[in-house]
Amino acid sequence: MAQSIPDKAAKADNYTILRLLMINQQNEILLAKYKTGWLTPSLRYNENQSIKGALDSLAREFGYEIAAPQLRAMVTFLFDFKPVVSVRTHYAAHISAGKLKLPEDIAEAKWVSRKEAEKLMSLPETQAVDAIKTTTMQILNHPETIWGGSFLVPKTSTTCKMTEPFYPIGMSK
């Protein structure tokens, strides 16, 4: 009986994606050009490590050390094509040391202003769901608030439907 529970949990494949808004001294954010478009650095959180350890590791992949990361948003992705929910957490952290280097699977990365970030994340060739840009811009436009929300992700489009509008779940430092 006890062994049947993990089997069912494994089939659900619920997972968390951690996104990291790295901020430099000029108040710019780092965007990486993934296969799906320009986005904040991210990782699928399924390793046996702490959240801080995962975020530190992600920053090091780009050549940086970061100061204490702060939670900025926690949103859920519901899918219209599979019966799972995925949690997306967004953190922000100032870089404390380092120099930009490109991880193996990243074609390009650069520091950009808030306005440039919105432009790059909105390019027509972007294949990432628009909920990523929407959440990132909510954080950048309202950095004093920690946000919650929920999106319905379609199988055949990058346009998501917000099923729970952004709502404050806390205040940041």
Is residue 43 pLDDT above 80, yes or no?
yes
Task: Tell me how far CA of residue 171 lies from CA of 15, 16, 54, in angstroms.
Answer: 25, 22, 23
- Pair of tokens at residue 144: 């004093």
Q: Kindly report the pTM of this predicted structure.
A: 0.90
Say whether domain 4-171 belongs to CATH 1.10.3720.10.
no
- Pair of tokens at residue 142: 């309202």
How many Å apart are CA 167 and CA 10, to the nearest integer?
Answer: 31
Residue 2 DSSP class: T
How many CB atoms lie under 10 A from the CB of residue 49? 12
Mean pLDDT of the chain, nearest integer? 91
Give the residue among 33, 31, 67 at the shortest CA–CA distance from 52: 67
Looking at residue 108, its pLDDT comes to: 97
Looking at residue 13, its pLDDT comes to: 59
Confidence of residue 84 (pLDDT cuts 50, 70, 90): confident
Domain spans in the chain, listed from the N-terminal domain onward: 4-171
Residue 154 DSSP class: P
